[in-house]
Amino acid sequence: MPTMWERDLDRDRAQFYDWLDRKLDHPEKLVVGKLVSPASSGFSNDTLLCDVSWDGGRQAESCVVRIQPQGFTVFPDYDLSLQYLCMQKLADSAVPVPLVLWTENNDQSVFGAPFYVMRHVKGRVPGDNPPYHSEGWLHELSPTERNRVWLGGFECMAGIHSLDWKNMGFDFLAGTDSSDVLQAQLDSYDDFFDWASRGREQPVVEVAREWLRKNAPAVDHPVVSWGDARIGNVIFDDDCRPAAVLDWEMACMGTAEQDVAWGIFLDRHHSEGISTPRLEGFCSYEESLEYYQRCADRELGDLHYWEVFAGFRFSVIMMRISQQLVRYELMDEAAGYAFELDNTCTNLLAGLLDLAPPGESRTGFSQES
């Protein structure tokens, strides 16, 4: 779904031209093509595409411009420089990421906010809207190709978790002390929850928050956590292999289990959550875990805790997405709050905690309301 703010793309193009002209020290014959806003931009992203060339066409780039969100934001804090740094550090690693070209953190006259520019990577991304299990290009593939896509996401996770993050300079991520990794995240999402809930009751999410505190495991081996680890954030090439890992806005120091559990929870959201069978070729979650462990050469701990953590995190995000829909008049206030309480995330989360589905605990209330 596109972002819910509109841009004057002709004005933005002229301002981007002036900025790039200065950035490249007034190159010969600079050409900035038409700016396009892709239909796949998400709720928390402001993204533009364009082609750039200079020196008479001898140098050229197909670019993606990622702009810090403005207006009604999903996340309480949005550190664009963190995303840029993650991809910059990964440029020479085995983890495929787009090449970051330029960044601007100070001059907000170009797009009205900080931004960075990365090289466009050709390929296809499994869709979230509609979810890839219900329709989209994955349906055109053979079961073998689909399996390659699905397991490709776990290959990306294994590569990220195998990084020598200390020597690669990932100290800028918060919580580098193993004893603080989970605590730091729980504290952060407590603040996120308090900000997003606005003092209103969130029964399922509140139970999850308390359960996570009471059952927190020790974390002995922190890794770089991709954060939003799922195949919907991977570009796949024509051979259905990962060509680029995207969206580092939720990156942090964490555990391998939290990324793996997030990827599984999001897949459940796109299948079980919407009463849609998983596509043929997507191997079972048990087989997926075994594949990850072989790729990463590490054993995973009990994932139940981390699936609850994934459901909690996603449910908090859904609270803000619901409020965003109200803000932009796609829902009224009552329907928006109803959706905060009863959606695919909270239903899956309730199941993980052996709670009654949200719709059953509230009179006259269902997901369709």
Helix axes 304-327, 344-352, angle to 10 degrees: 160
Q: CATH 3.90.1200.10 in the chain: give the residue spans.
A: 137-361
Amino acid (one-letter) located at 359: G
CA distance 171 to 253: 9
Is residue 38 helix, strand or coil?
Answer: coil
CATH architecture of residue range(s) 137-361: Alpha-Beta Complex (3.90)
Q: Say if CB 108 and CB 84 are below 8 A apart.
A: no
The amino acid at 265: F
Residue-by-residue pLDDT tens, the chain, 369 positions: 344 457 899 999 999 999 999 999 999 999 999 999 886 545 556 899 999 999 988 999 999 999 998 888 899 988 899 999 999 999 999 999 999 999 999 999 999 999 999 999 999 999 999 999 999 999 999 999 999 999 999 999 999 999 999 999 998 886 545 458 899 999 999 999 999 999 999 999 999 999 999 999 998 889 999 999 999 999 999 999 999 999 999 999 999 999 999 999 999 999 999 999 999 999 999 999 999 999 999 999 989 999 999 999 999 999 999 999 999 899 999 999 999 999 999 999 999 999 999 976 543 333 332
Pick the CATH number of 9-119 from 3.30.200.20, 3.60.21.10, 1.10.10.10, 3.40.50.880: 3.30.200.20
pTM: 0.92
Give me the numbers of helices (H) and strands (E) for the chain, helices first please. Answer: 11, 9
Q: Where in the chain is the domain with CATH 3.30.200.20?
A: 9-119
Give the sign of the dihedral formed by CA 49, CA 75, CA 110, CA 328: positive
End-to-end CA distance of the chain: 21
